Amino acid sequence: MKRKTLTQFLIEQQRGPAALPSEVRLLIEIVARACKAIGHAVGKGALGGVLGSLESENVQGEVQKKLDVLSNEILLEANEWGGHLAAMASEEMETVHLIPTNYPKGEYLLLFDPLDGSSNIDVNVSIGTIFSVLRAPESARGREITEQDFLQPGSTQVVAGYALYGPQTMLVLTVGTGVFSFTLDREMGAWLLTQENIRIPADTKEFAINMSNMRHWAPPVRRYIDECLAGKTGPRGKDFNMRWIASMVADVHRILNRGGIFMYPWDAREPTKPGKLRLMYEANPMSMLVEQAGGASTNGLQRILDIEPAALHERVSVILGSKNEVERVSQYHMELPPTP
């Protein structure tokens, strides 16, 4: 059976009820080509001289891997010239990246985490690229884009997606009409549609969390995990399995395919920070994908897509996945004393 290519899928979205703007279609294709290039570099590993760390830190204060920097450069260079963007923002850069003056400018904003899960690069565990597309505010027309123009709630996202570099290279995407998955045919060099209208089961027996941080969690999270660990003899009346890859792309991809709950909550080690994951580059795009697949996403007290960002690199607590489990954790946050 002949499979549908990414381009065919996007043209159908352009012609269908979603009326996907042609500029967005072309922008997605450019991002997808960049992800293909990143996947190629990841696949070479030590043969391409891309493993290991640099003697530098990103804006987050994290040591940069060689592939972090390379992936960031690939995405910037690929998207500068297309004419669809007004500006870009990356987890690896302190502020926004303006489109050079010698290229035409569009009305969209692109945000990305160029290589999520980079701590897993050198041990050959699945990693990925996360991206999000916003429309630039009308007030920005005719002037230079600023950080403030990017500070829109996740509910305004036009596109969200990620590329997964694992046993297969995959692209998972939503344009607001459900979640679709494409697999890279390396022989053809084409993204082919392999899953349509992905749905997350409402109930699950799997949770993903870094258990080594258990002593630092707030009471609502401790309560939920304690009940999962109690298994059939506990209040949940069923046994749970724990999964933790330490690569958000890989953990969320598993949840999209078979259900589960992913948690990266606030903890007491840095009490002034609401969480570790970045709202704009990780939480918002993943939350859009999860909600489009029938799941839910919250910081414990508020739907993540409703959060009004205050800063480009704002952090947030993330609880997402199977709807009934996410709602249970949210309920516990309402019932137990708030985090100090």
Q: Which of 132, 91, 96 is nearest to 313 (CA)?
A: 91
* pLDDT value of residue 75: 97
* Strands of the 206-208 sheet, one edge to the other: 241-242, 206-208, 261-264, 318-321, 296-298
User: Do the Cβ atoms of 287 and 179 come closer than 8 Å?
Assistant: no
Is 124 assigned a ligand-binding role in the annotation?
no
Counting every residue, how long is the chain? Answer: 340
* Residue 166 to residue 136: CA distance in whole angstroms: 33
* pLDDT value of residue 79: 96
* pLDDT value of residue 177: 95
Is 66 assigned a ligand-binding role in the annotation?
no
> Tokens at residue 79, please?
């998207």
201, part of any domain: no
Query: 46 and 155 share a domain?
Result: yes
Is 117 assigned a ligand-binding role in the annotation?
yes
Is 120 assigned a ligand-binding role in the annotation?
no
Is 239 assigned a ligand-binding role in the annotation?
no
200, part of any domain: no
> Tokens at residue 78, please?
């690929």
Beta-strand relationship, 241-242 and 206-208 = parallel
* Residue 57 to residue 78: CA distance in whole angstroms: 24
Could you read off the pLDDT tens digit of each residue along the chain, which spans 340 residues? 589 999 999 999 999 887 999 999 999 999 999 999 999 999 988 888 877 776 665 666 566 778 899 999 999 999 999 999 999 999 999 999 999 989 999 999 999 999 998 788 888 899 999 999 999 998 878 789 999 999 999 999 999 999 999 999 999 999 999 999 999 999 989 999 999 999 999 999 999 999 999 999 999 999 999 999 999 999 999 999 999 999 999 999 999 999 999 999 999 998 999 999 999 999 999 999 999 999 999 999 999 999 999 999 999 999 999 999 999 999 999 997 655 4
Query: 189 and 283 share a domain?
Result: no
Residue 296: what are its φ and ψ, rounded to 5°? Answer: -140, 160
* pLDDT value of residue 340: 45
In whole angstroms, how far apart are CA 119 and each of 245, 261, 332?
Answer: 11, 22, 32
Query: 214 and 189 share a domain?
Result: no
DSSP letter, residue 98: E
* Residue 99 to residue 144: CA distance in whole angstroms: 10
Query: 38 and 181 share a domain?
Result: yes
Query: 183 and 216 share a domain?
Result: no
Residue 245: give the domain boundaries.
Answer: 206-335
Other C-beta atoms closer than 10 Å to the C-beta of 55 total 6
Is 119 assigned a ligand-binding role in the annotation?
yes
In whole angstroms, how far apart are CA 173 and each of 71, 110, 161, 277?
Answer: 19, 14, 4, 20
| Domain limit, last residue, from 176, 195, 214 | 195
The CATH number linked to 296 is: 3.40.190.80
* pLDDT value of residue 48: 82
Beta strands in 120-168 (DSSP E): 127-135, 159-165
Q: Give SS3 for 35.
A: helix
340, part of any domain: no
1, part of any domain: no
Half-sphere exposure of 203 (CA within 13 A, CB side): 4
